[in-house]
Amino acid sequence: MTRRRLWLTTAALAVAGCAGPFPQSTLRPRSDFGRAIDHLFTGIFWWAVIVFVLVETLLLITLIRFRHREGRPAPKPARGNTALEIGWTLAPAVILVLVAVPTMRTILAVAGDAPPDAVKVEVIGHQWWWEYKYPNLGIVTANEMHVPVGKPVQVSITSADVIHSFWVPALAGKRDATPGHVTRVAFRADSVGEYSGQCAEFCGVSHANMGLRVLVDSDAAFERWVKT
């Protein structure tokens, strides 16, 4: 009885973790950058599912079919099957190519800079908050970043003290904020809303509290925010 209760409690706790909401999920992308990463992830995920199901099915069939039974002689070990060996060497190689090509394509796609008319934001990581500067708009703000929907945004990231990492799962990141060095990330948000993010590089005692918010505004709302 006690053991059953323990199992039930453990299962309840595990299931409770699935309740949501999950504001920081990369599985609900809301930008071109986020969609590129999500697309790559989905492709690799399904390759992994195919390999897992195939390998486990073959394993289970073998375990059941050749299991020990009283009076049955031990099965004959098989040695040297050229066709099989070529097959199981080639198949993983082909799968790796099918994973590597989209991976390289995505790396190049998300490494690109935004067009010159993009909204420029300089992100500076501090222990333990985020500073945002809009050099073309004369705005300096903290923790809450505003960007217009559907417009390219060019983010330049650096740090004032230790290494941080700028990460807004639905939109863009993770990109390290390194003191004395500028990293860049470009994205175009595709839906209005509020997206939370988090410093993704351990940076000291308050690292866990180093959250941030990105507000994707309609054009009119962004203009209003710029004016106030």
Site for Cu ion, rule CB under 5 A: 164, 199, 203, 207, 210
**Least distance to Cu ion, CB of residue 210, Å:** 5
Q: Residue 163 CB, nearest distance to Cu ion (Å)?
A: 8
Nearer to Cu ion, 145 or 199 (CB): 199
Q: How far is the CB of 199 from Cu ion (least distance, A)?
A: 3
Q: How far is the CB of 208 from Cu ion (least distance, A)?
A: 8
- Which amino acid is present at 65? R
Give the shortest CB-164-to-Cu ion separation in angstroms.
5
Residue closer to Cu ion, measured from CB, 207 or 213: 207
Distance CA 119, CA 179 (A): 23
Nearer to Cu ion by C-beta: 201 or 217?
201
Q: In angstroms, rounded to a whole number, what is the distance separating the alpha carbons of residues 189 and 146?
A: 11
Task: Indicate the residue among 106 and 127 with the shorter CB distance to Cu ion.
Answer: 127
Cα–Cα distance list, 68 to 34, 62, 79 (Å): 51, 11, 21
**In this complex, which beta carbon is closest to Cu ion, that of residue 168 or of residue 210?**
210
Distance between CA atoms of 217 and 162, rounded to whole angstroms? Answer: 31
Least Å distance, CB 17 to Cu ion, is 23
AA identity, residue 173: G
Cβ atoms of 121 and 133 within 8 Å: the answer is yes
Query: In angstroms, what CA-CA distances link 32 with 28, 63, 131?
Result: 12, 46, 24
- 148: nearest Cα among 213, 218, 195: 218
Give every strand in the sheet of 152-159, ordered side by side.
139-142, 129-134, 119-126, 152-159, 183-188
Pick 133 or 207: Cβ nearer Cu ion:
207
